[in-house]
Amino acid sequence: MRRALAAAVAVLCAVLLAGCGVLPLPTVTTTPDTDGVSAALRPYYGQRLVWKDCGGGFRCTTATAPEDWADPGGARISLALIQRPASGKRLGTLFTNPGGPGVSGVDFLRGAASTFYDKDLLDHYDLVAWDPRGVGASAPVDCYGTRQLDGFLFDDPDLPEGSSALRTDVEDGAKAFGRACLDRSGDRLAHVGTADTIQDLDMLRAAAGESKLDYFGFSYGTYIGALYADRFGPRVGRMVLDGAVDPSLSTFQESLANTKAFGAALRAYLRNCLSASSCPFRGDDVDGAIARIADLLLELRATPMRAKDGRAVNSAVLRTAIDASLYDEQSWPVLSEAIDALLRGRPDAVQALADAYVDRGRSGYTSNLFEAIYAVNCLDKPVTTDRATLEAQGEQLDAADPLRAADNTNDLGDAVCGNWPVKPEGAPKRVTAKGAPPIVVLGTTGDPATPYAWAQSLAGQLPGGVLLSLRGEGHTAYRNQVPCINDRVDRFFVDGTLPRAVTCG
């Protein structure tokens, strides 16, 4: 659930701009807000954040949290934070999370602050992001080295659907991954779920000196926000959730909705592609183009191509490249060019798209995104391992997947979480957010990663929830810079004007 390609470009821009002359920022120390905090938690809620210049117009700091909030006197971890100070009349601190789970908030804000957030927010708020526990520089989950992670993410056995050989291969791989995560991450693997993260966020709010949490969450960041509001409703200030996750859904319900939404996004991409003379599927209609993609996936499973660096470009790599490109309509022409090159025997562009999605650079992985995403998700919700149930669910996924002819794992469920070495601590639940003020929810009708129905559902669960809808394609709404959406969001944050429900675009 992330805007991976745009985020990768944003981080690259930050690197290119790092050499620009920016005067160092003075060190700032916060005065924490500890009203109503228990004695056991006061050492954490009462800590002072010492913000120091870390280049590019940002300040950075770390905060200390207990590894296990149920045992605050036990082991401790460090959380990494970054701040972009308000450039005008300051209203307070606006916490933000870009999604994931597994995306570094520190890297995202450093790369995207000036291009992603509107001037009104930059003028009036100290924007603060953090690496949630288990992610980036905050007690990161560690499972595999580069070659092992390549194999785990992209190995694609040419075995028939429903065969015991395929089931054994997938489940053995899932068990090995889970064991490696436990061996290399230790006890913290049991404490990286969203329940712990929202407690961290409440502590960070207090340490920043804020009595209320102002928060802007995207994608999985909306799940953080919704669960925070559900537990700490009276402490919510102004909150906007864009690209909403529905907390009431099971893991399978999420997978089924995602499969349908990505299928719809694939059809939207192909309709757009077929309108251009350069489309690699020219001469076909949408159904014909889907059939050609399925055939290509099957061919690559049987006989992978080789990228220039020697890595296999198989059906898993192509499927990842396709899904990654459906997050952002601006990536569609890039996908078309990559597939056209693949059909001409040059697979490197497809490999590059897949690499961008999983944060893989030339020398290895640049983040622990796809280790953290499993660690968090497997703690947040249970999954079934019942064979009859999995087969029935597989039939539903097959019916929803336009590329089902090339997918041989729909009946295997979430094998990783089904074999995870730590028991889940969370469960699907409808949120009530008792005591919270109205919360604004954004949804995009063609969002493949967080389907529009999830935004509708979340807005309905929240007391006084307001839904702002964007007709269009791609993941999340605010990034599209549509005034009809962004002006309402900015006014809500800056002067508290609660918008009415509206559909834009």
Query: Which residues are known to be catalytic?
Result: 219, 447, 475
**Separation CA 311–CA 347 (nearest Å):** 10
Rounded to 10 deg, the angle between the 4-17 and 348-357 helix axes is 90
**Separation CA 483–CA 505 (nearest Å):** 10
Rounded to 10 deg, the angle between the 369-380 and 164-185 helix axes is 100
Residue where the block lists tokens 């694939």:
266
Residue 20: both structure tokens together: 């620009």
Name, in order, each residue with C-beta under 8 angstroms of 133's C-beta and a sequence gap of 6 or more: 65, 77, 79, 139, 188, 191, 192, 196, 197, 200
**Separation CA 282–CA 276 (nearest Å):** 8
Identify whether the C-beta of residue 46 lies closer than 8 Å to the C-beta of residue 72: no
Rg (CA), the chain: 22
Cα 411 from chain centre: 25
DSSP 347: -
**Separation CA 397–CA 407 (nearest Å):** 10
